[in-house]
Chain A
Amino acid sequence: MNARLLAGAALAALTIGTVASGPALAQGKLSGDTVKIGVLNDRSGLYADLGGEGSAIAARMAAEEFGNKILGKPIQIVTADHQNKPDIGSNLARQWIDQDGVDVIVDVPNSGVALAVQEVTREKKTVFLMEGPATSRLTGDACSPTGFHWAYDTHALAVGTGRAMVQEGGKSWFFLTADYAFGHQLESDASAEVKKAGGTVKGAVRTPLNTSDFSSFLLQAQSSGAQVVGLANAGGDTITSIKQAAEFGLTQSGQQKLAGLLIFLSDVHALGLSVAQDLVLTTGFYWDMDDEKRAWSKKFGERHGGKMPTMVQAGSYSAVRHYLKAVEAAGTDDGPTVAAKMKEMPVDDMFTKNGKILANGRLIHDMYLARVKKPSESKGPWDYYQILRTIPGAEAFATLEESGCKIAAK
């Protein structure tokens, strides 16, 4: 017993020694003779199903395409849970970069956490691939030369769903807004879009993150008399508010429509089609659109309990793959060099064809306006969306000038 304990301690000491000496050896082309990818997201809270382990699986699938090796050295993937707390997220990022030799940070849903991590990666000149977070500030006033915003953002959601609803006659809006960075930004982007399209905003109510009962907020939305109730929230909050809106007959009366500004495939799955049917939403990815997407998603599903990927998870694959290609092309994992290379190369994979990255790190790719199918239209599990319209990337995302990113202008 004692001998085994001793051996364990010795082994642990050895491991610590190896890790500590890692950065010191970083003189070759790859720091630490490896490319280390850190997937940082919510693995246990309300956003765990839209990213979580699925994003890590997607990153692994990208690495496997390279045979888990790059420039002859191994690719390593580590994961951590930021618990939706900006301080925990930025501490983890700092520790990863400073002590563990992590070269690139992936996913980071929750705009509040992403904004904090962006500060760290900017300072450390580390590549940051964002699929989970929404706020358009990440490529706006809070942009970074090594930060990339991949799957979607609040601007694209507002343009997609906001404009479509106004065009269908939903002129007056009332917002249910998640009370933190993301919700505020989504509300403000959507309000701007609604007004631009000739609509009005009657009011908004700020709801605490992770609210279990939305009924009083829904009642306020109901009494506002607005034609459209815009849900500027995400994940568990969106699920609860849609479910309870159905319960309170918000949409049955025919006077009000729900606009889910950010709805993930995992949300629709959790709600069930009978509750979610006919919701209009904007997404950056849907698995059942072409053969390539279907094939990839099927492989993903086999490793993730049969679940089809959300746009966050598919985006994580695409971003990691593009990053690795850039490392290969640049012959180094030095942050700024790889970031510059990534912006030079077009993004071409199952997620997007001929995607371009702006100087502020925004990936310009097509977005899709979709409608959730009725239970009678769905042919089987995960057959949830009907794609109404492709929103060209140039229309969906803000231009470099509009974004307000100062670094990019230099």
Chain B
Amino acid sequence: MMGTIFGIPPQALFGQLLLGLINGSFYALLSLGLAVIFGMLNVINFAHGALYMMGAFVSWLLLTQLGIGYWWSLLLAPVIVGLFGVLLEKTLLARLYKLDHLYGLLLTFGVALMVEGAFRHQYGVSGQPYPIPEALRGGQNLGFMFLPNYRGWVVVASLVMCLGTWMAIERTKLGAYLRAATENPVLVQAFGINVPRMVTLTYAFGVALAGLAGVLAAPIYQVSPLMGTNLIIVVFAVVVIGGMGSILGAVVTGYGLGLLEGLTKVFYPEASNIVVFVIMAVVLMIKPAGLFGREK
């Protein structure tokens, strides 16, 4: 037919790269939340996957129980998941800040298992279908592939959220307080700022991001109790590669690894599940703090 790139027709390659970008959007959105929480609270939030799953389930419940559609869920589900985050932070996490990171990790891991177990008990594992919203059905024929409109929307929504979050933390006054509070909470408190409340809200925000990713994912994947478990390990690898706590690192690595995974699916599909971890191992050997992380 026409020329090939490494034995792959260019159409297929472009298609895979685009798909990689879409998956990367989820990685970026989830690892962003993790990075915000780790950067500001020093908590390794292992419950992130469960909260992402919760976001999807909340939007499914809103739709099937209350008839509230996708667009409202996009707002409501993250708020509800965020409130759950507030509860979690106030009652459990807040007690652990003085201890080693490991305690926060163990606690959130336990919470994740409990939340997932509860949903699994209630709803089984096959998952529930969530329809794609009317306005985003169908797709575009790009010549090299068929792009479902909904997936296009996911890329745009995730880019906007990532950029917005980065701006808010790096470029606004609130963000400056936040960063100052993590450096020296006592001093910031002395200036009359309520640091514990700010920490709670930051956690809630990071968690809400996971909830939002869940809503975005609901129409693509089955709304299933296992959906978080499937994703969270990869997302942790993304955060480690990007550098724990680095917001820019999380976003860039999220998209980058999505692309790379897409390429692997073309050249050697069997390895597509592990390529991210191979890269993680290599990065840890060469630059233990991650690509964008600072050595302490």
Which A residues form the contact surface with B (CB < 8 A)?
44-46, 48-49, 179, 205-208, 210-213, 215-217, 219-220, 222-223, 235-236, 239-240, 243-244, 247-249, 266-267, 269-272, 274-275
Contacts and interface: CB of A to CB of B under 8 A. Distances in A.
A236 B126 contact: yes
A46 B221 CA distance: 14
A205 B8 CA distance: 14
Which residue, B9, B227, B269, B273, has most C-beta atoms of chain A within 10 A? B269
Contacts of A208: 270, 272-273
Interface string B226-263: 11001100000000000000000000000000000010
Given A44-B120, A212-B227, A216-B265, A49 B126 contact: yes
B124 interface: yes
Given A212-B230, A216-B265, A239-B127, 6 more contacts: A208-B270, A216-B15, A247-B148, A247-B220, A270-B129, A274-B131
Contacts, number: 95
Given A236-B226, A247-B220, A248-B148, A216 B126 contact: no
B289 interface: no
B125 interface: yes
Interface string B67-89: 00000000000000000000000
Interface of B: 9, 11-12, 15-16, 19-20, 22-23, 120, 124-129, 131-132, 139, 145-146, 148, 150-151, 220-222, 224, 226-227, 230-231, 262, 265-266, 269-270, 272-273
Nearest to A243: B222
10 contacts: A46-B125, A205-B269, A216-B16, A216-B265, A216-B272, A220-B266, A243-B129, A247-B132, A249-B146, A270-B129
A26 to B, nearest CB: 37
Contacts of B272: 208, 216
A213 to B, nearest CB: 6
A212 B261 CA distance: 13
Contact of B128 (A210, A217, A270): A270
Which residue, A208, A211, A215, A222, has most C-beta atoms of chain B within 10 A? A215
Q: Which secondary structure characterizes the binding site on chain A? A: helix
A46 B120 CA distance: 11
A384 to B, nearest CB: 14
Contact of A240 (B132, B221, B231, B265): B221
B114 to A, nearest CB: 14
A53 to B, nearest CB: 9
A239 B23 CA distance: 19
Contacts of A212: 221, 227, 230-231
B16 A48 contact: no
A345 B19 CA distance: 55
A309 B266 CA distance: 39
B120 to A, nearest CB: 6
A272 B139 contact: no
Contacts of B227: 212
